[in-house]
């Protein structure tokens, strides 16, 4: 029989896509850090979904994207609510019916990386309140590895390396918190 126990805490991260003419990168970071705390940021030029999002958000030339990993240890039970928070923040900044910022929330843990989504699919597990967990990476052989369904931009070597480096920071924080 397995024993029910809480997992190690995790870092939450955001993938931010925004209209640079309607909201600044600093505003996005400020909103994020007000809720989640000090973060490490990273941008990568490859984002194949710009055309898809431009249908709602406007010209792909005005869309900018970056990632941010909050360096505050979080209980994973908060993951579901983090998606609800992101949806609220997106909706509160809408212009008419169009978003000016898209915030994809994720959970970075020692064993995997997950994205929160409102869209069901075969590999997504329902968490509640309309939120699903999309398993994006597994941690094996000292690094995160993409899965067959991992989004193409998350497969990029630099993106994988960034999240693997952030996992090392998470690991150190967990060790330090155990010693305290």
Q: Which token pair is 45?
A: 């030029």
The whole-number pLDDT of residue 20 equals 96
Domain total in the chain: 1
Q: Are 26 and 152 in contact (CB under 8 A)?
A: no
- Asked whether residue 4 is domain-assigned, the answer is no
**Which of 13, 20, 121, 8 is closest to 65 using CA atoms?**
20
- Domain-located, residue 140: yes
Q: How far apart are CA 92 and CA 101, in angstroms?
A: 10
List per-residue pLDDT tens for the chain, 180 residues long: 889 999 999 999 999 999 999 999 999 999 999 999 999 999 999 999 999 999 999 999 999 999 999 999 999 999 999 999 999 999 999 998 899 999 999 999 999 999 999 999 999 999 999 999 999 999 999 999 999 999 999 999 999 999 999 999 999 999 999 887
pLDDT given at position 54 = 95
Q: Is residue 101 a part of any domain in this protein?
A: yes
Show the tokens assigned to 84.
């609800």
**pLDDT for res 97:** 86
> Do 69 and 13 touch, CB atoms closer than 8 A?
yes
**116, part of any domain:** yes
Residue 157 domain-assigned? yes
> Is 2 inside any structural domain?
no
Expressed as residue numbers, the domain containing 38 is 11-179
Q: Examine residue 5 and state whether it is found in any structural domain, yes or no.
A: no
How is residue 90 written in tokens?
A: 């997106």
- 26 lies in some domain: yes
């Amino acid at each position: 029989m397995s024993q029910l126990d809480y997992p190690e805490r995790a870092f939450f991260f955001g993938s931010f896509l925004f209209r640079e003419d309607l909201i600044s990168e600093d505003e996005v970071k400020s909103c994020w850090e007000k809720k989640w705390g000090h973060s490490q940021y990273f941008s990568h030029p490859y984002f194949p979904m710009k055309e898809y999002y431009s249908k709602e958000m406007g010209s792909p030339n005005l869309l900018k994207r970056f990632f941010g990993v909050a360096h505050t240890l979080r209980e994973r039970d908060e993951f579901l609510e983090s998606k609800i928070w992101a949806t609220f923040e997106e909706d509160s900044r809408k212009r008419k019916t169009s978003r000016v910022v898209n915030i994809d929330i994720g959970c970075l843990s020692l064993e995997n990386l997950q994205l929160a989504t409102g869209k069901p699919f075969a590999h997504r597990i329902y968490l509640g309140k309309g939120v699903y967990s999309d398993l994006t990476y597994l941690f094996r052989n000292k690094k995160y590895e993409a899965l067959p369904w991992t989004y193409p931009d998350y497969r990029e070597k630099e993106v994988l390396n960034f999240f693997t480096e952030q996992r090392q920071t998470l690991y150190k924080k967990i060790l330090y918190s155990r010693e305290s």
